[in-house]
Amino acid sequence: MSRKSDEPGDSLELLLDTICNMFGTIMFVALVAALLALVSRSKRVEESMSVIDTERERQIFELEQRADELEKQLAMFPAPAVDAQHEEAETRMMRALGEIERRQKLIAQYGEALRALHASAENVDAQINPLRQEIDRLEDAVAFAQKIRNRKMRTPLEREVNLAQFIIIVWQDRLYPVCDWSNRSVSGCDRLKQWNDRYVYASRCTTTGQCGPKTNFARSIPLREDRGIPVRDLPQLRSNPEFQSLLASLDPTEDLISFEVAADSFDAIAVVKEAFVASGFNYRLGIATSRLPVYTDSWISGTPSSF
């Protein structure tokens, strides 16, 4: 009986079976190899760890032995005795360190003070001139006081002078020039009416009577309170611009300074008189009997007298 021939599909299936079997065998062999390698590596790691532990224990043992030996050697050396000088030196050193710290703080404070002085020294030039002026003023005041104290008392000699009287009221330690002769009139009577509005109320000043060859008239002059030239001492008075202007408006060869002094200004008159006498003026003194601040006087024909 004849056999049937195989179909092409059967041969392909046989080939695929063979290939799959071979691939499975290869995978099995690879898996076994991997397992063997893993087991071998684990054994090597365990052996390495065992060696490391053994070596570490050996080193620890050696270090403990060395420590014991060092302690035995240290016990063989006794502790040094306490040195009193060393303690004293240490105490002195600590005190010295404290003193150094204290002085450093002082140096810092001095530095701040020096910086402050340096900052203030920039204005020294501006401060020197006023101080010098004040020193000069005080020296003049002392010299004047000594001059007054050492001056010998004498009876003043009154003499007639052919000069025009210029009235100055000394009241409440202030000067009140009642007239302004900086632009003086030719007529003597007119000069007596040239009011100084800085120190008197010119609009309220009045005159009554006759002024001429036979002069006989009176004046009423209200003063401006607290507007006079203050008098404290000679240097202050000389340096006052108003006083300097007053001196410039008068002439020692033509004018006689007639002081009318209130009872509260007897101390100031010494300074005022000294200032005018030093400028070459003749003077006369009178006691102000008017009820200030309104000054009144009367004038008649005649020749004035001075000291």
Model confidence pLDDT, tens digit, residues 97-129: 888 888 888 888 877 877 777 776 666 566 666
Whether 167 has a pLDDT exceeding 60, the answer reads yes
Q: What is the reported pLDDT for 11?
A: 66
The pLDDT, as a whole number, for residue 306 is 53
pLDDT at 305: 56
pLDDT classification of 293: cutoffs 50, 70, 90 = very high
Mean pLDDT of the residues in the chain: 79
Residue 72 has pLDDT above 70, yes or no: yes
pLDDT digits over 220-271, tens only? 999 999 899 999 988 899 999 999 999 999 999 999 999 999 989 988 998 9
Is pLDDT of 69 > 70?
Answer: yes
Domain parsing of the chain, residue ranges: 15-75, 88-122, 159-306
pLDDT by residue (tens digit) across 16-63?
777 787 777 788 777 777 777 776 666 666 666 777 778 778 888 888
- Greater confidence (16 vs 153) lies with 16
End-to-end Cα, the chain, rounded Å:
195
CA neighbor of 166 nearest in space, from 150, 147, 180 = 180
